[in-house]
Each structure stands twice: as structure tokens, then as C-alpha cells.
Structure 1
């Protein structure tokens, strides 16, 4: 693996030099104004050049050629695990593309890695599991939904910091998968009485999905779930924030209606979060007069 280690070190160096170049060319007062998308675009351009440039450490092969020369999925997965531990950003595109060429075999292997609780309990190995979850999300792997949802049920997020990181990665992956993940998430949220931390994360997952990419029926299902969850959950502030994030103005009557029905008991923080959601959805609270001590 010495070649691979040198390869990933070189990959990190390109990223570091690319970022340094960007920041050194900016005036001090403009550094915080650098657009993140533009930053990644420039880094990607430099990484593309790196992928095509021959490396002495690879016997004259370029990184792209090196990854494409590997024909064993097992060896590619070992590189995947090593890269997950070493790489400062995501893995090299040519490595991911080479693994993806194995289609369902690749999906099966990454699913095993993504849901392996032994790996996730190991401080050094957990990075490979987190990376597998991310890649499955980027691939929009629909058959990963069931195993990932099942994984969520096994996490000990209130006592295990690593599990909280796993949870966040799974939520992001499910959001990328999109519509195929909606039924499983909605079924859980519609069936519970008390909303815990996991359920709040699942609500957030629904709001992260690209609304324009959802079929109309799926979109309406998500909206109804978010609205009904707001009405049923005790943490109204969180539910209101989710409705505001989702961006469907049909939620305005439900939000304002809750305030009007609870004028004497609503706390200031909850009121402010509901008001913010209403405004973000295109409405206002001008017709509601309420005083707080």
C-alpha cells in the first residue's frame, strides 16, 4: 500500500496548494467573501489535472490510469478504506468511478461497509463507513434506503458521539436519494407519538430533499407529513423551522392557527420561530397581536 499512501498524500497536497493559491490571491478583507462553490470548482480543476499527470511513484502512470488498471474489487475497496482515512476531502473521482463500474457488486460492498457496526465502533475504521454512506447517497442508491433506515434504529445517538456523526451522514445520504426514501421516513414519522432526536433528524432530511426533483404526489406526501408532524410534536419551534425550510406556503394557516389558539400559553422563542417561518413562506403575522412579559 506504499504507492497508495504516496498517491493520497499527493492528492491532499494538491488540495492544500489549490486552497493556498486561492486565499493568497485574495485581499485580506475579501477572504471571508470567497464563494464556497467557486472554491470547490477551482480545487476540482486542479484535481482533474492531477489525475491526468504521470507520477514517478506510480511507475509513470497517472492517478487515473493507476485506478483504472486495478481489476480486483477487493483491492479497490482496500484503496477506498485507506483513502477514507487519509484524504482531506472526498475520494478521487477516478477511484469512485472505477468502483462504480462494478455496479451492484460495488453497491453491495459499500452497503456492508456503511452498515457495519463493528467498523463504526472503531475510531480508525469509522471513516471508511462514513465515506461509504456518503458515496451511496451520491450514487442515489435506492436499495440502500432500507438498510440505512434500519441502521438508524441501531444507533445510540444520545450516548455515542460517533453514532451522531453516522446519523448525520445517513440523513444527508437519504436526502440525496430523495423520493425513494420518502415512504420509509414518512411511515415512521406518521406512526410515532413522541418525537425524539432521530425523528427530528428525519424531519430535517425531508426538508433537505430537492423539492423540484420530487414527483407531485411524493412532494405532497412530504408536505403533509411535515405539517402533521408540526401539529403533533411538542417542539413546535422545530416543526415550524422545518416547514419554513421546506418552503410551501400552504403551511401558513396551520402555523398562524397554532399561535391564535395558544395566545395565552405560547412562549416567546416558539412565537418568534413560527413568525420567522410564516415570513419566509411569504406571509406575515400583522393580524396577530400578542404581548410577552
Structure 2
């Protein structure tokens, strides 16, 4: 049985300035997105796109800026609405207190979707062409965020058998019983595994929208599985059918992704340069 290393959440102190590990993992996530997106532009769907204009690194930089805004605004609003609506209804100004913690992936995803819709509209680009470019570049950024969760000792797992070799005690949980290190499960499933599968799938000549649909299905299924090992939020517990809030939020994600993939499969020719 392992003990969670009690990391200092502050990585670097520069006088009054404190740089947190979680902030660093966000920066790593954005850097990984940019590096992978530049590689993605070499894939068949984007390498020679001429309409409405060729893709450039400047496009990626501009899109990343919009995406960062979508992640922060959507993630915070999603957490407030999905997980603590009553609290934030009484204290609406606390929604702005991002430094207190509390971000939702599903809310962040919705925020990014809105941001990409606006960016695609401003650039006169097909929205699904944009999301197909972005989707395979996202999972490693999610993996980086899970490392931040592990360093902070938050979002720990459910109780595990002491015989499990990697069972871990999280003192922050208020219990010395061993738990699943669910942050690492999510790092491997939603991050590394999803990236490998989606990157390999996206390298082929796919119909517009298929890669986006595959991402929604893949993330939704893997997150749904990981939630069986993650401790539900204490203020919510398990909901209908014994599922967590995270699992219920994955249901429309999987259904929507499957519908998008099926529609894209019948919609037209594979997305190629032109």
C-alpha cells in the first residue's frame, strides 16, 4: 500500500509570486496542443487545403487563444452549474474566483465548442473541419491536467483493496484507507490511450466530422469507465442508477458523438485537400 507524496502545490516562489503546479500543467497542455496541431496540419485532410484558405501556424495561434478562453470560462461556468448550482446561485461573484479551484471538463468542452464556432465563423471555415483538426490534439492536454490533480492530491479514487499493489492512501481525503489513484487511471485512459487511438484514426483520410465524433465517443466511454474508480463529489454522491454526475454528463456526449460519426459517414466524400 502506497502513501500519496505530499507535494507542495506551489512549484516556484518568486518573491510574492507563487507559481502552482496546476497552472504549469495547464501551460503544458496548451503547448502540447500547439505542437500536435502543427503536426496535424500535415495529415491528408489539411496538408493542401485551399478553401477557404490554406491553414497556417498563425491560424493555430489565434485558435489557441480562443480555445483558452473557452476552457477557462466554460470550465468554470460548467462547474458552477453542474456541480454546485445552489451555492453559486447564492454567491454568484464566487464564480469569478477561479483561484479557489473548481473546473468542469464537460463545461470546458462546451466553452471550447462555442469558442471554435465563433472562430470558424470569423474565419469563414467549416466548423467541423476545425473540430476535426483540434480533436486529436486534446487528449494529451487532458493527461497533463490529471497529473496536476494527482500532484494536488485531489479527485482521489474510491476505496480499494489493500492487496492492490498500487492502492494509495490520500491523507487529504480525511481517511487512511487505501484508494484507487483514479487521477492516474484517467491520465492513462482519457489521456494517453485516447490520444494513441484517435491520432492513429485521424491520420487516415476521414470524412469531415468523423474524427470529432470519434473523440466524443472515445472520451465519453473512457471517462465513464474511469468514474467507477473515482470518488463521487461528497456534495453530490451517486445519482440515479448509481451513476456519478461525471457519468451522466458522458451519456449525451457518447450519444451525440455516435450520431455525428454516423451522419458524417453518410454525408459525403472523405475530407481531402482542395
**Category of TM-score, reference length = shorter chain:** under 0.3
Give the number of the structure whose residues are more often helix, by fraction: 1
Computing the radius of gyration from Cα coordinates, the structure with the larger value is 1
Which structure has the higher relative contact order (CA within 8 Å, separation 6+)? 2
Q: TM-score, normalised to structure 1's length?
A: 0.23
Q: TM-score, normalised to structure 2's length?
A: 0.24
